[in-house]
Structure formats: structure tokens, C-alpha cells
């Protein structure tokens, strides 16, 4: 049985799609969703989906206790779904090639510290990009620089504003993130 842990800080739309995707599969379960935000929308989504959640403090996140917390779940894969903090190098060393992230651009474009959510979409609009998309990648010690697992593109119209770009990109996230996780798990068997 593959066990997934999701780290999320925000509304939880990607986390919910992942949970829903795997809820009727016999070989994979979402063991828990962990958050660093007591008021994250993901908490309500998980409650309605009957998925255990756990809040952790900034102090725990920066300590060896965070690795102990992750180890207590025995995850096969740790998924960042709207989680904004940089993962400590000790955690990456403990889980090499077992932590993945989704980024709302076609990396290496529009990645790095401070490039998340609306910031990315505004930058894409400002630069009149003809396309945008998502990158699913392994997490390493640097923001958005881990090996890319998969990318999916969407054409943009010159009239699209940042909010419209965000909607197009989110549709890609919801369509492709969970199946990419499933493929990754199958390839690692």
C-alpha cells in the first residue's frame, strides 16, 4: 500500500483533487494532510473528505521533530500542494526523490523565491507569454529547481488577464497532478 502525505498551506483545491483521485484505489491512500496554517481552507476540505489533518508550528518544522512526524506516517511520497515554505535540507536528505511539488509555470520560467500563485500569473501576463502551464518536479534544496517530472501547457490569449491565466493553469493542475503521482508511484514499484 502506497502512503501519501500532503503538505498544504492554502485553500486545498489540489489536495482535494488528489484525495478524491485516490479514495477508491486499493493500492494508494492519503494518510494525512499536514499544514502550517491553522486557518487554511484545506482543513475544511479534508474534514468533509474524512482525511486526518495536523497543524505543525514553525518551530517544529525547523526541528528534527518534523522528520519524526513525517516518519510516523511512513510516507512513500510527500506531496507539496500549495505549500510555500522551503523544505529543510535535512528533510530532503531523509526523503531523497520522495518529495514532489507542483508549480504554476513552465519551469525554469517564473520559478524561485517569491514566485508563487498570483505573482507567477501576473509575471506571465506582464511578459505577454503565449503559453503557460504547470511543472511537477522533485524538491531539492533550491526553490523550484528540482528535476522536472512532467510539464503540461496551455495556450494563452493576449486578452487573458492574470485571473484568467490562473484559472487555465488551475484546470491543468486539477487534471494532471493526481494522475502524474499515480504514474510516479507505479514507475517506482
pLDDT of residue 68: 97
**Tens-digit pLDDT profile for residues 110-139:** 999 999 999 999 999 999 999 999 999 999
Q: Report the share of the chain in percent with pLDDT over 90.
A: 97
Question: What's the CA angle centered on 51, arms 24 and 4, to 5 degrees?
Answer: 70
Q: State the chain's mean pLDDT as an integer.
A: 96
Alpha helices in the chain (DSSP H): 13-22, 41-48, 58-61, 64-73, 89-94, 117-126, 162-187
Mean pLDDT computed over 94-114: 96
pLDDT of residue 24: 87
Query: H or E segment at 4?
Result: strand 2-8
Number of domains in the chain: 1
Domain housing 44: 2-187
pLDDT above 90: residue 151? yes
Mean pLDDT computed over 37-55: 94
**Higher-confidence position of 187 and 147:** 147
* CATH number of the domain enclosing 31: 3.40.50.170
Q: Extract the C-alpha cell encoding 141.
A: 534544496
pLDDT of residue 188: 80
Nearest Cα neighbor of 8 from 101, 89, 77 is 101
Among 103, 121, 137, 176, the one annotated catalytic: 103
pLDDT above 80: residue 189? no
Q: What are phi and psi of 28, to 5 degrees?
A: -145, 140
Is the Cβ–Cβ distance between 65 and 37 less than 8 Å? no
Distance CA 35, CA 82 (A): 10
Residue 142 annotated among the catalytic residues of the structure: no
Distance CA 61, CA 133 (A): 30
What is the model's pTM? Answer: 0.95
Mean pLDDT computed over 48-64: 95
Amino acid at each position: 500500500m502506497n502512503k501519501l502525505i500532503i503538505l498544504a498551506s492554502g485553500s486545498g483545491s489540489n489536495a482535494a483533487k488528489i484525495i478524491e483521485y485516490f479514495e477508491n484505489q486499493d493500492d494508494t491512500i492519503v494518510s494525512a494532510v499536514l499544514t502550517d496554517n491553522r486557518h487554511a481552507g484545506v482543513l475544511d476540505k479534508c474534514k468533509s473528505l474524512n482525511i486526518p489533518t495536523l497543524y505543525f508550528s514553525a518551530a517544529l518544522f525547523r526541528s528534527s521533530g518534523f522528520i519524526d512526524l513525517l516518519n510516523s506516517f511512513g510516507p512513500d511520497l510527500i506531496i507539496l500542494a500549495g505549500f510555500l515554505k522551503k523544505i529543510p535540507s535535512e528533510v530532503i536528505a531523509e526523503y531523497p526523490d520522495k518529495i514532489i511539488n507542483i508549480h504554476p509555470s513552465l519551469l525554469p520560467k517564473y520559478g524561485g523565491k517569491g514566485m508563487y500563485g498570483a505573482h507567477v500569473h501576473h509575471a506571465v501576463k506582464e511578459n505577454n507569454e503565449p503559453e503557460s502551464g504547470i511543472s511537477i518536479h522533485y524538491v531539492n534544496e533550491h526553490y523550484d529547481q528540482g528535476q522536472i517530472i512532467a510539464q503540461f501547457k496551455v495556450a494563452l490569449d493576449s486578452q487573458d488577464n492574470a485571473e484568467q491565466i490562473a484559472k487555465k493553469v488551475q484546470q491543468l493542475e486539477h487534471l494532471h497532478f493526481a494522475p502524474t503521482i499515480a504514474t510516479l508511484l507505479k514507475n517506482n514499484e
